[in-house]
Structure formats: structure tokens, C-alpha cells
Amino acid sequence: MYDIVIISGSPSSESRSQSVLKYIGNILKNKGLSVGHISVRDVPAEDLMFGNFNSPEVNDIAENIKNAKGVIVGSPVYKAAYSGVLKSLFDILPQDAFKDTPVLPVMSGGSISHLLALEYALKPLISTLKGTTLKGVYYLDSQVDKTSDSPIQEAELIQRTETQIEDLLEKMDLEKSFS
Ligand SMILES: Cc1cc2nc3c(=O)[nH]c(=O)nc-3n(C[C@H](O)[C@H](O)[C@H](O)COP(=O)(O)O)c2cc1C
């Protein structure tokens, strides 16, 4: 079980959003937290396609989320929303999967025009599963080098990312003090 579970919603093998998630995960590990990485690519396609609520892999993911103090959800923007396959996974998670858990949303997109996919698509989805959403970060493709361990270079964007990480850690501490 992990302090923080990171969920990648990209179906791509070389994924920009996932490179950012790995970068964030490394920052958290360097702070001494245990971090588990989950990808939609690790869930059997048939379970996602046919909505298999008894999928052992999905039950395992749900258990990891339940025991985590914080969650980070990342997705590419697809047609002005999150990826369909992320929704397929969330459809078969328990309806209160993120209950009492702060969730940091992260998206990468080709266009700044779809920045609001974070507000109008991903955040409501997280709220539906009873997560407490943080502000989140949107990354433009032009700002992410998916081939590098340090995929973002712009100082202001690094700062925004770190601020969101600090916010997540703060919220996790709050949750802990009530549990
Ligand atoms: C099927 C598909 C649909 C996309 N739709 C949008 C879109 O509506 N708006 C946008 O800004 N970018 C869109 N993009 C670009 C991706 O959001 C962008 O390249 C993203 O960083 C990919 O993330 P990934 O590498 O983690 O999968 C789309 C890409 C694909 C493959």
C-alpha cells in the first residue's frame, strides 16, 4: 500500500501526461513518501470494454486508492475532455472510490483552448467519486519533453507544479488528523 497513488489515463505508450506524472512521483519519493503508479494500460482491455466490476486488477486498484492518503489523476485531453479509457476505468471503480481523499488533477493537451477540460470534465468526474479536488495543473504539449526525466523546463510551470504538490501534502495531513 502507498501514501500516494498516481493514476495515468493515457492509452499511449510514450505519454506526455505520464512523463509529468512520473516527474511528480519522483519529487514525492524524494520527500520520503511511498508512491504507487497505476496506468489504464495495465488493466485488461476486456475488463474496461465490458465494464467488469469483478476485475481483480480493478479491485486491486480500488484497494490501493482506498488505502492511500492522496491521489493524483492524469489524463491527456481527448476531444476537449479526459480520455475515454480513463472514464472506462472510473466507471468500474466503487462510486465512493476517492472518499475523504484529496485528489490532484493533471492534464496535458495540444491546445490552450482546452485548458478548461480540467474544470469542466476531469474535476467533476473526480468529485463524482467523492474526491476533494485540488486546483490542478494543465501542461501544453509544447511545454513537455516526454523523453526527459525532467520533462518540464519552464521555471514558472515547475513552480506551479511544486505548489500543487505542497497543497496535496497539506491536505493529506489534514485528512490524517481527522482519521
Ligand atoms: C484522440 C486524440 C484527441 C485529442 N484531442 C485533443 C483536444 O481536444 N484538445 C487538445 O488540446 N488536445 C487534444 N489532443 C492532443 C493531446 O491531448 C496531447 O497531445 C496530450 O499531451 C497527449 O497526452 P499523452 O501523450 O499523455 O497521451 C488529442 C490527441 C488525441 C490522440
Query: What are the residue ranges spanned by the domains of the chain?
Result: 4-178
Pick one of 3.30.70.1450, 3.40.50.360, 3.30.420.10, 3.60.15.10 as the CATH number of 4-178: 3.40.50.360
The protein residue with its alpha carbon nearest to ligand 1, atom 6, reads 78
The protein residue with its alpha carbon nearest to ligand 1, atom 16, reads 109
- CA-CA-CA-CA dihedral for 96, 34, 21, 72, to nearest 10: 20
Crossing angle for the helix pair 16-30 and 155-178, to the nearest 10 degrees: 60
Per-residue pLDDT of the chain (179 residues; tens, 9 = 90+): 999 999 999 999 999 999 999 999 999 999 999 999 999 999 999 999 999 999 999 999 999 999 999 999 999 999 999 999 999 999 999 999 999 999 999 999 999 999 999 999 999 999 999 999 999 999 999 999 999 999 999 999 999 999 999 999 999 976 655 55
Q: Which residues line ligand 1 (CB under 6 A)?
A: 10, 12, 15-18, 76-80, 108-111, 114, 141
Task: Give dist(CA 160, CA 46) in Å, integer.
Answer: 38
